[in-house]
Structure 1
Amino acid sequence: MEKLYPLKFKKVFKEKIWGGRSFSEKLNMILPTEKLYGESWEVSSHKNGMSVVENGRLEGKTLEELFLDYKGDFAGENIYTKYGKKFPLLIKYLDINDRLSVQVHPNDDYALRVEGESGKSESWYILEASEDARLIMGLKRGITPEIFAQKTKDKDFKNLFNVISVKKGDFISITPGLIHASLEGSVLICEVQQNSDTTYRIYDFDRLVDGKLRELHLDKAMEVIDYENIPRISSEKNRVNIKIDGGLKQEIIRDKYFNIDKLLLEEKFEDTDRASFMIYSILEGEGNLTCDGVSYPIKKGDTWYIPPKLEVAVEGKLEILKTYL
């Protein structure tokens, strides 16, 4: 097989009642209509939003096809051996301008048994946040399953949730069982998650979509909620800056499902991590990505999938969220 190269995928946009226009206004994306969009799926092999290559000789190929055809050359030998026939991650952007429904995700054991797919551990990197942005993250201390069941039955959601304020640069680890939602203000988020689309909706603020209330999943939610779950949150100012050639690196998370670094580059940077695929989410700036001597222009709003084993160099004043395993 011919050698792989850095891939860009067509963005899969999802209209949402809570969406907006920030993908166009802040991330250089061309939206297909004037409607409100809440999600842009950037790298996905999930059936609900399959990524399709838009650059080079592999144009038109799906991520799933490439993973199955190129195996370890596409993802890394150890990763292909571990995950077999299903690519492990899903990368997306969220544009939240209204209340995101109160929801929870299952873990692997529950999701595989009940839904036939992996669980959903995810993380949110806050790109932009209004001054009044507040999120629901977990339950208030002392809320037991019995209290929760009674209050949700009575549709009494007061004094139930843990509410936090967020700002640009915050990072939140949303592990399975953690109840979460947006409550006030607007946020623009880069989300890294397991390859799953399983979400259990607990409360949707009684909104109507096409004249109907959206379906809730209280029975399943009650089975997967972790009542003691407190989210891991890090802010920009509290992270350690590690000096690297060309700039700085922040090690944001090390997890069994994904690793995330933030790169703050001023000059040429050579990335020597070649055992795993890497996904570059370009948060700020513009420059060039060079792989095996071939250069590609990159800019804010781009997402690049870099197969393993390539010689990678980046030039430009850039902020990059780098995801890998």
Structure 2
Amino acid sequence: MERLYPFKFKKVFKEKVWGGRGFEKSFEMTLPTEDSYGESWEVSSRKNEMSVIENGRLEGKTLEELFSDYKGNFVGEKVYHKYGGKFPLLIKYLDINDRLSVQVHPNDEYALRVEGEFGKSESWYIMEASSDAKLIMGFKEGMTKKLFMEKTKNKNFNDLFNIISIKKGDFINVTPGLVHASLEGSILICEVQQNSDITYRIYDFDRLIDGELRELHLDKAMEVIDYETIPQINTDQNRKNVEVNGGTKQEIIRGKYFNIDKFLLEKKFEDTNRDSFMIYSILEGEGNLNCDGVAYSIKKGETWYIPPKLNIEIEGELEILKTFM
């Protein structure tokens, strides 16, 4: 089997009513039109948002084709045997400039039974946030299913939700069942999630799209909502910095579906992962990613997919979010 190399995928931009031009301003991305964009799908094997390689000898191949052709050599043998024919993750950047609808995601058990695919556990790393940025994360204490059903029946969504202020560097684990939304301010997010696009919309602030209210999914939402969990914000200040070759590492999460570390690099850094693919989300800076004698230029806003068993050397002053299984 031929040896693979670091991949960069073409971005798949999604127009959103709550989006903006932040990708252009902060990441120097070239947006397709003058419209508002809310999502950049960075690593995806979804049919309508399929990632396509834009570098090297396999340019033009899709992520799905790579997964099918190279199997364990593409994702790692353990990962391949666990997930079979489905790539396990989805990585996005979000540019939020208006209220994101109040929503909830199902767990695997419910989603597989009702929707025929995996549930959606996700995490949000806050790349940038305005001083007034606020999110809805869970309910205020004392909420019950009965009370919430009464409130929604009367379209009374006031004074229900737990509201948190956020800042750059914060990390929030958005588990299945957790009601969440954006409320105020402008926010750029790196989102890591299961390979699922199931979202149940609970309330959209009576917003009109082309003169009509957006569809809600209250019946299904009621079956999956967790009324008690309030997530803890994992801040830049409360994470432990561990010295590594070339800089420091922060262990952000070790989870059932994915693991995430943050690296602050100032010198040459060597990285190898024998058992799983790695995904580098470049949060800040620029430099080079060296592999098998080839240097790849990397910079803020880019995402790089590293197949297993590659020896990686990174040079430059960089802030990198590393996702692996």
Q: Residue 174 of structure 1 contacts residue 232 of structure 1 at CA under 8 Å; is this kept in 2?
A: no
Which residue of the partner structure matches residue 98 of structure 1? 98
Which residue of the partner structure matches residue 129 of structure 2? 129
Which residue of the partner structure matches residue 89 of structure 2? 89
Question: Secondary structure in 1 aligned to 2:146?
Answer: helix
Is residue 178 of structure 1 aligned with residue 181 of structure 2?
A: no
Q: What residue identity is the alignment partner of 1:95?
A: D
1: distance between equivalents of 2:279 and 2:16? 25
What's the offset of the Cα at 1:146?
0.5
Misfit runs of 4+, over 6 Å: none
Is residue 199 of structure 1 aligned with residue 188 of structure 2?
A: no
Q: Residue 124 of structure 1 contacts residue 173 of structure 1 at CA under 8 Å; is this kept in 2?
A: yes
Q: What residue identity is the alignment partner of 2:46?
A: H
Identify which range, 129-138 or 267-276, moves more after superposition. 267-276
Q: TM-score, normalised by structure 1?
A: 0.99
Q: Residue deviations 1:269-304, cap 9 Å, x none?
A: 000222210000001000000112211010111100
Which residue of the partner structure matches residue 148 of structure 1? 148
Which residue of the partner structure matches residue 33 of structure 1? 33
Is residue 250 of structure 1 aligned with residue 250 of structure 2?
A: yes
Is residue 161 of structure 1 aligned with residue 161 of structure 2?
A: yes
Q: Residue 127 of structure 1 contacts residue 168 of structure 1 at CA under 8 Å; is this kept in 2?
A: yes
What's the offset of the Cα at 1:191?
0.2
Q: What residue identity is the alignment partner of 1:188?
A: L
1: distance between equivalents of 2:105 and 2:47? 18
Query: How many equivalent pairs are there?
Result: 325
Which residue of the partner structure matches residue 221 of structure 2? 221
Which residue of the partner structure matches residue 23 of structure 2? 23
Question: Secondary structure in 1 aligned to 2:8?
Answer: coil
Q: Residue deviations 1:1-23, cap 9 Å, x none?
A: 32111001010000000000010
1: distance between equivalents of 2:272 and 2:191? 24
Unmatched 5+ residue regions in structure 2? Answer: none
2: distance between equivalents of 1:67 and 1:6? 14
What's the offset of the Cα at 1:56?
1.0
Unmatched 5+ residue regions in structure 1? Answer: none
Identify which range, 89-98 or 26-35, moves more after superposition. 26-35
User: Where in structure 2 are the equivalents of 1:8-87 lying within 5 Å?
Assistant: 8-87=8-87
What's the offset of the Cα at 1:141?
0.8
2: distance between equivalents of 1:176 and 1:233? 16
1: distance between equivalents of 2:110 and 2:47? 20
- Aligned CA RMSD, in angstroms, stands at 0.7
2: distance between equivalents of 1:50 and 1:150? 41
Q: Residue 7 of structure 1 contacts residue 304 of structure 1 at CA under 8 Å; is this kept in 2?
A: yes
Question: Secondary structure in 1 aligned to 2:92?
Answer: strand
Which residue of the partner structure matches residue 284 of structure 2? 284
Which residue of the partner structure matches residue 320 of structure 2? 320
Q: What residue identity is the alignment partner of 1:79?
A: V
1: distance between equivalents of 2:155 and 2:24? 37
Q: Residue deviations 1:196-230, cap 9 Å, x none?
A: 00000000001111111100000000000011111
Q: What residue identity is the alignment partner of 2:222?
A: M
Q: What residue identity is the alignment partner of 1:25?
A: K
Question: Secondary structure in 2 aligned to 1:56?
Answer: coil
Q: Residue 24 of structure 1 contacts residue 31 of structure 1 at CA under 8 Å; is this kept in 2?
A: yes
Q: Residue 132 of structure 2 contacts residue 184 of structure 2 at CA under 8 Å; is this kept in 1?
A: yes
